[in-house]
Structure formats: structure tokens, C-alpha cells
Structure 1
Amino acid sequence: MNAPSLTVGYVPGVTPAKWARNWSQRHPQIPLQLRTVAAADAAAAVRDGAVDAAVLRLPADTTGLAVIPLYEETTVAVVPADHVLTAADEITVADLDGEPRLLPRDDVVDWADAPGAPVDHRPETTGDAVELVATGVGMLIVPQSLARLYHRKDVTYRPIADAPPCPVALAVPEGPQPALVEDFIGIVRGRRPASSRGQTPPPPKRTAREKTLAKQAARAAAGKVARKPGRSRGR
């Protein structure tokens, strides 16, 4: 019989280390295996059973999955380190109007009318696109965590104040969840161990006075039983 374990997939940029630490504190005997999955494959990995759950970005094809929203990431523009836009701490959509924009094939930003003029060449990955940003080919729009993941000295990024955020969610198979999956859901939602779903809370502790009153009541009840007349044993 295999020892119990939990496998959680996560897309690039997401940092599940905090959840893994909390898991190890609550379940030191049950390993939590973290597996990086491509954004396009994360939902399918849950459906196929390759992972028990996955932290992914929306939108995604989540057919057959239960989706638990976690948080929203800031959308940023990645530009060369010496770009004129770096003069401000925050930019707007209008600032990017007409800027050449790189659109990698693994793009995860759901923004149909995103600013910028798309460059004809589409790099295969976001990492490839960041390299092209460094050469001045164009700018790149990504969630902030991906800008941090692919950071390099010759590029930087600026938050886009009026851009839509990039939502992140936890996906699990639809239906009742195994206990370990429920525990992980509780961790990512910030529930304390004592508040896990389905757990019966312990009864409140009685005060010293309540204990004394309970003992007195028990003695009184015992005395009534002792004084109750019974059948005579004989004449």
C-alpha cells in the first residue's frame, strides 16, 4: 500500500513555498510534492490525475474542475531598463499606445484590447520574449510575478494602473474532496488547523463554578435515587 502524499501543480511565477511550509508543519509525515506545469497544461493535469490540485491563472478551460479564487496579480509592462517609461513608478494604457508589443505563444494575460502594436514575430515563451525586450524589439505585458521570475539587469517593469488584473486560482476535481485536498484548500485559504472544514469543534471548557454546580447537581440526583421507596423484601 502506497504511503499517503499530495501532489500540487503550479504555473510559472506562482510561489507556493509558504503553503508548503504550512503543510509540513501540519502534516510532517505526509509529503507535499510541488510540480511546475505549463500554464496551458495546468487544468488538464488536474483532470488527468497527474496532480491532485493546481494553482493556475484564469481564464483557463476548467471543465470538470472546481475553481477556488485565490488572489489577483498586478499587470505590468516589461521594458528595457533605459526606456523612457521607467521615469515613472506607474504607467497607464495611454503611455503604451503605439509601443511595439511582443506576444509570446504562452501568453497568459486575458486582455483583448491591450495597448501596443503587436510585433509580427511571436516568441515561443515568455522567457524568450523578455530576451527580445532587452534588445529593444518591443515591450511585453505580463503578470507581475512573471516579470519577477524572468528579471534581468537590462530590463525592468512598471505596473499599468488601468489594466485588468490577472486572477490566480486553485483548481481541484469536481465533487467531494479527499481529506488531504481539503486540508490543502484550508491552507491556501488561510484557515487555521482547528477550523478545518468538517471538523467538530471541541466543547468549551467549563469554569470552576460550573464544575462545582455540576457536582452538586450530581450529588442531589444521587440522594433522590437513594431515598426512593422500593419493594419490601418480606414480611
Structure 2
Amino acid sequence: MGTALVTGATAGIGRAFARALAARGHDVVLVARDADRLLSVAAELRGAYGVGAEVLPADLAGDTEAVEKRLRSTERPIDLLVNNAGFALGRSFLNNDIADEERMLDVLVRAVLRLTHAALPGMIERGHGAVVNVSSVAAWVPRGTYSAAKAWVTAFSEGLVPQVAGTGVRVMVLAPGYTRTEFHARAAMNMSRLPSWMWLDSDALVVAALRDLDSGRTVSVPGLVYRLAGAVLPRLPRRLVLALGQQHPARRSRSRPSQ
């Protein structure tokens, strides 16, 4: 089944991707900042699925060089790249430190750009492979830097599709909605007002995403409510979409964001 590299692999959607891919028989390269958690996840996957699990600690906000080097390696080449790493800030743009805003852009945009650029040439040369870039339904509604970055991920990924057509390589963008992970807690967001029917399960989400990848979809939007939103939002008057962007179910908690 080849080897998959997953960023942000120690929790949430990234960990669910690593688990699902290992279950399919992929060896995995796990990328995240926390080396201890990486080792724990790698041991879990080796024990449960008998696959190879390589760990690559890296802070993608500061230095992507080691991950790019691994993506370009011809030894145990990477057949599937999942650009999942990311975080949000719990405050609004004008209340955030600009260094934190830049760090978020580095992870959500710059790292996706560089890792995709490192991965695709080798995949094209080998005649097979895939890149999955994790965006968000937040890309459809303007709401600060996070949604702007995710809009970039979506447009960037869709723009790559015709460039790899006929090469045997696929590019897909995954746009999940609210998902039960550590994501909101790390941003110190209180999501208690969000109704239960709006939450997605990360494992089910990844199953749907991989099914969409297998079927050749360009954009994967798991969950009926979010698929409907994806169909409706682009057709709404821009003034209404902008107004929706001012509404948010999260409340700021007292703790500072954890990155």
C-alpha cells in the first residue's frame, strides 16, 4: 500500500488519518511537534496494525526542511501526503499578537505550500500518489485569518487538480465542519452552545474523506449538514455571507490559547 505522511498526527483528524491509513496497510510517517506523543501513536499503530511507523518531530511554523527532505526521498517514497496540521486563535484579529497571527499563517499556508511542492514532483515521476490538504467549512464564511487561510488552501488545492491531470496523481481538499477533537480546547474556545447535531466524529470523517479520495473527488465535505452548507453558501448574497461571518457559537474561555 505504500507510505503515507501525515502532519498533525498526534490528535484529532490527523491521528484518525494515521489510524485509518495504517488499517489499510500503509506504512506511516507521523509529523507533529510533540516527540513523546508521536512515539506513543507510532507504537500504537505498529502494535495494532503491524505497519512501519516513522516519527518526524517538527514545528511547521518554523522549519519545514526536514519534512520536505523526507517527502523528496526516494527511499521508501511517500505515496500519500496529508497536510492536516493546524490551529486557531481564540481571540479576534485585532486582539491577537501579530506574531501569533503570522505563526498561524506559517502552519496553515506556508507549510501546506512547501510540503505540497516537495511531494508532487516525485509522485508525478513515479506515476502515482495523492495529496490531501485539510481545509475547513470556515473557508466559505469570512471570519479573520483562519478562514482566510483555509480559503487559500481550498483554492490552492483545486488549482492543482488540472496541473496533475493525466499523471496518475490526485489532489483533494478536505473541508470538515465542527469535529470533536482537541482543536477548540487548544484555542481556549468554549463550544458548549454548539448543538450536538453539528459535531462530526473524526474517525467517521476520515472514512468519508478516504472514500472520496478513492472515487476521485476534488473536494470532500463529510456530513450531510456541511454538504448542504457547501452547496448553499456560495449562492447566497455576499452581504448575507458577511453577516453570517459575524456569528459564532464559541465563547472565549479564561485560559490562553495553547499552541
Task: With the length of structure 1 as denominator, give the TM-score of the two structures.
Answer: 0.30
Higher gyration radius (CA):
1
In proportion to residue count, which structure has more strand? 1
Where is the helix percentage greater, Structure 1 or Structure 2?
2
Instruction: Pick 1 or 2: higher relative contact order, CA cutoff 8 A, min separation 6.
Output: 1
